[in-house]
Amino acid sequence: MNATECIKTRRSIRKFKPDPVDHVLLESLIETASYSPSWKNSQITRYTAIEDSSILDKIVTDYTPDFNANIIKQAPMLIAVTFVKGRCGYERDGSFSTKKEDRWQMFDVGVASQTFCLAAHEAGLGTVIMGIWDEDGITELLNIPENQELGALIAIGYPDIDPAAPKRKSVNDLLTYL
């Protein structure tokens, strides 16, 4: 599969087979995602793989709305994507480099998350990136270090559906020349 095909055929998967994700395969995906670009090569993105059913159940029942809980409860694995705070968007003296201040950290986590999802798709796995959950509750449950922040949750597993591509905006809607 070439890059264009991978990008155009990847879908957000919300229904998974119960088959577990092999740890060697997951480590390969993380290694691939580590090549994502980041602010001044800060490489702030971190991943926590959650397979423990008691932790997944707690996330489902206490920390996510129903539409995300329904995805998580049947996925064999959930990835908590975090980032190291205070490195992205800053100069060495601690000042911000741009008016965007520290918002670059979410940009970097987004790039890394999409790279991870594309690598997973190429390997035959499905993913969906979720952003609506109780950040404080999950942060505490997972014992995320104080110097890190939860950026996204990604359900991952073998797809049990093959959704069609949603309608895309035209290039004329997306591109402006000056």
The per-residue pLDDT of the chain, averaged, comes to: 95
87: pLDDT strictly greater than 90: no
**pLDDT band, residue 101 (cuts 50/70/90):** confident
Query: DSSP string covering the chain, please?
Result: --HHHHHHH--B---B-SPPPPHHHHHHHHHHHTTS--GGG---EEEEEE--HHHHHHIIIIIS-HHHHHHHTT-SEEEEEEEETTSTTB-TTS-BSSTTGGGHHHHHHHHHHHHHHHHHHHTT-EEEEE--S-HHHHHHHTT--TTEEEEEEEEEE-BS--PPPPP---HHHH----
Render pLDDT for 30-45 as a digit per residue (tens, 0 to 9). Answer: 999 999 999 889 999 9
> Which architecture does CATH list for 3-162?
3-Layer(aba) Sandwich (3.40)
Model pLDDT, residue 92: 81
Instruction: Return the domain boundaries, the chain.
Output: 3-162
